[in-house]
Amino acid sequence: MDHFVYRGGALHAEDVALATIAEHVGTPFYCYAAATLRRHYRVFRDALAGVDSQVFYALKANSNLAVVALLAAEGAGADVVSEGEIRRALAAGVPPERIVFSGVGKSESEIAFALDSRIHQFNVESEPELIVLSRLAAARQVTADIAIRINPDVDAATHAKITTGKRENKFGIAWPYAREVYRRAAALPAIAVRGIAVHIGSQLTDLGPFEAAFRIVADAVRMLRQDGHRIDRLDFGGGLGVPYGEEAPPSPAAYGAAVKRIAGQLGCRLMFEPGRLLVANAGILVTRVIYVKKSDDRTFVIVDAAMNDLIRPTLYEAKHTVVTVRERPAGAESSRVDVVGPVCETGDYLALDHPLPTVHAGELLAIRTAGAYGAVMASSYNSRPIVPEVLVSAGRYSVVRSRPSYRDMLSGESIPDWARSEASR
């Protein structure tokens, strides 16, 4: 259930008509349903009942402060991959002891900031990173708790650009070579080896790859304990898929059951980093039709949202369901159309060959399942203002990121005097 439903012939977010928001905010805009965010978090949390566990929300999916704060209030920690995300998590009220720092390219300044912030854990992805972390922690006379991210060489059977657990991917340290890295880590000053981390990809729709990776991790726990390491944390990452259309991913309950069966008796705290699962279906992108353009064999519905607002269809060949905000009667005739934006790129589309009833200029459309990797990946390409974000709860809504003015967009740039003088010659 995503809390975007038709009422009285109009699509609502919880108890607020989307047309009302569009009238006050303008289009395009992202809209998130607080009830969906809370529900998805609770369903995932409850699927892990009976084991010692903690959920760390992956900010990369949607780092809006209001979204992070809402999930933090539910008890979520934060999985972050940059200093900026650490700062966002802290600003949203996530305690530092509930922050895990992942990422393959942590800079020295980012590591230093994380150490000074006293975060919970570093998920280390390389030996050079480990050495830098040890040096910086020792200089501060603090101890950094770490898990080493192992690469289990498991094919997640997902899109090539979002698979992360194969040997050729840049992430983690290949197992069993990582066993030697653990030995070296234990000998370094200011480092406390606490766990194992693994993450094999995003938008997985089959439990098989998860189970294969979990079994490798379980075997690694036993081997590392035999080597004398204290392993009491297992970070299983995220990656459980969501239904964008025809997909039928496993339920959180089935996922939780697999985790408990394979790792429930290892005596470790189990850590999870869901992102898309919590926020994707909690968000939609609302856009307005500018023109309907017909050619011999195609109909283009040109809207005011574009690839710079939602890049997933162009970047990942992702398919999002597009619906009209004004409800059509059951059985209304539809045709196949391309929903495209105004950006000057052939790749600027939101949906291709998509069934849609007849629409007209000025009408509102909604792109569903857009709460993850939507606004967070938006840009100002073609000098288009960044899309605003709106959070709805019951009958209330608030703009939680405003649309910048053109003056705002230009204010950070400057023209050197010499450039003006040379251009005038």
Residues 289-337: pLDDT tens digits? Answer: 999 999 888 999 999 999 999 999 999 899 999 999 999 998 888 999 9
Residue 282 DSSP class? G
> Residue 115: what are its φ and ψ, rounded to 5°?
-65, -45
Regarding whether 125 and 92 lie in a shared domain, the answer is yes
Per the domain annotation, does 44 fall within a domain?
Answer: no
Instruction: Provide the pLDDT for residue 161.
Output: 44
Q: What is the pTM of this model?
A: 0.93
Regarding whether 284 and 266 lie in a shared domain, the answer is no
Contact 199, 171 (CB under 8 A): yes
pLDDT by residue for the chain (425 residues), tens only, comes to 689 999 999 999 999 999 999 999 999 999 999 999 999 999 999 999 999 999 999 999 999 999 999 999 999 999 999 999 999 999 999 999 999 999 999 999 999 999 999 999 999 999 999 999 999 999 999 999 999 999 876 644 444 544 444 455 555 788 778 889 999 999 999 999 999 999 887 788 888 888 988 899 999 999 999 999 999 999 999 988 898 877 788 999 999 999 999 999 999 999 999 999 999 999 999 999 999 999 888 999 999 999 999 999 999 899 999 999 999 998 888 999 999 999 999 999 999 999 999 999 999 999 999 999 999 999 999 999 999 999 999 999 999 999 999 999 999 999 999 988 765 55
Regarding whether 144 and 18 lie in a shared domain, the answer is no
Instruction: Provide the pLDDT for residue 155.
Output: 47
> Residue 33: what are its φ and ψ, rounded to 5°?
-100, 115
Matching residue, tokens 């101890």: 143
Backbone region of residue 369 per phi and psi (left: phi > 0; alpha: psi in -120 to 50; beta: other values): left
Summarised one tens digit per residue, pLDDT across range 67-81 is 999 999 999 999 999
Regarding whether 290 and 237 lie in a shared domain, the answer is no
Nearest to 144, CA basis, from 129, 166, 154 = 129
Backbone region of residue 377 per phi and psi (left: phi > 0; alpha: psi in -120 to 50; beta: other values): alpha
For residues 231 and 369, give the distance between their C-alpha atoms in angstroms, rounded to a whole number.
Answer: 38
For residues 389 and 208, give the distance between their C-alpha atoms in angstroms, rounded to a whole number.
Answer: 36
Per the domain annotation, does 42 fall within a domain?
Answer: no
CB atoms within 10 A of CB 155: 14
Mark which of 274, 292, 319 sits at the end of a domain. Answer: 274
Instruction: Provide the pLDDT for residue 34.
Output: 98
Mark which of 274, 290, 317 sits at the end of a domain. Answer: 274
Task: Label residues 58-91 b or e (16+ Cβ within 10 Å = b).
Answer: bbbbbbbebbbbbbbebebbbbbbbbebbebbbe
Regarding whether 180 and 154 lie in a shared domain, the answer is yes
Regarding whether 398 and 288 lie in a shared domain, the answer is yes
Domain that holds residue 70: 63-274
Regarding whether 383 and 328 lie in a shared domain, the answer is yes
Instruction: Provide the pLDDT for residue 309.
Output: 98
Per the domain annotation, does 43 fall within a domain?
Answer: no
Per the domain annotation, does 50 fall within a domain?
Answer: no
Matching residue, tokens 């040109």: 302
Catalytic residue among 187, 248, 330, 344: 344
State how many domains the chain has. 2
Regarding whether 193 and 142 lie in a shared domain, the answer is yes
Per the domain annotation, does 24 fall within a domain?
Answer: yes
Mark which of 249, 274, 299 sits at the end of a domain. Answer: 274
Regarding whether 238 and 160 lie in a shared domain, the answer is yes
Instruction: Provide the pLDDT for residue 332.
Output: 87
| Residue 344 a catalytic site member | yes
Regarding whether 395 and 254 lie in a shared domain, the answer is no
Between the CA of residue 370 and those of 171, 281, 290, 321, what are the distances in Å? 26, 7, 21, 10
Q: What is the largest CA-CA distance in the chain?
A: 77
Residue 201 DSSP class? B
Nearest to 58, CA basis, from 221, 239, 312 = 239
Per the domain annotation, does 419 fall within a domain?
Answer: no
Per the domain annotation, does 146 fall within a domain?
Answer: yes
- The helix or strand, by DSSP H or E, that contains position 77, with its residue range, turns out to be strand 77-80
The CATH number of whichever domain residue 81 belongs to comes to: 3.20.20.10
Cis peptide before 176 (omega within 30 of 0): yes
Contact 356, 287 (CB under 8 A): no
